[in-house]
Amino acid sequence: MNLERLPNEEKLGLCRKYYLCGFACLPFLWLVNVVWFFREAFRKPAYTEQTQMKTYVKRSALGLLFWFTVLTTWITIFQHFRAQWGAVGDYLSFTIPLGTP
């Protein structure tokens, strides 16, 4: 989708939709929001909707950072300690590797 062809109101609407939907445990939408609208919000010359767009992009970036740290921490802990957790580790796993603890 080429943002060039859209009027500004629609761009803002799109940005808002991505921002709001990301709250449904969908951090990837926030990532898309940040990457897609970064140039629009911060590099283009100012227009009326841009301030609102800037807040959306900033908040998306914050939310993204939060999710990234939480997920990275949990994944590191799980991969490292799953073998030691015994039964709990097995019940948390979707696929249990064969032949290794």
Interaction between residue 79 and another protein (CB under 8 A): no
The answer to whether 83 and 72 are in contact (CB under 8 A) is no
From the CB of 89, what's the least distance to another protein, in Å? 10
Quick one: 1 or 91, whose CB is closer to another protein? 91
Closer Cβ to another protein, 24 or 87, answer by number: 87
- Cα distances from 54 to residues 21, 48, 66, 93, in angstroms, run 17, 11, 19, 40
- Segment near another protein (CB under 8 A), from 10-18, 24-32, 61-69, 89-97? 89-97
Binding site for another protein (CB under 8 A): 86-87, 90-91, 94-96, 98-101
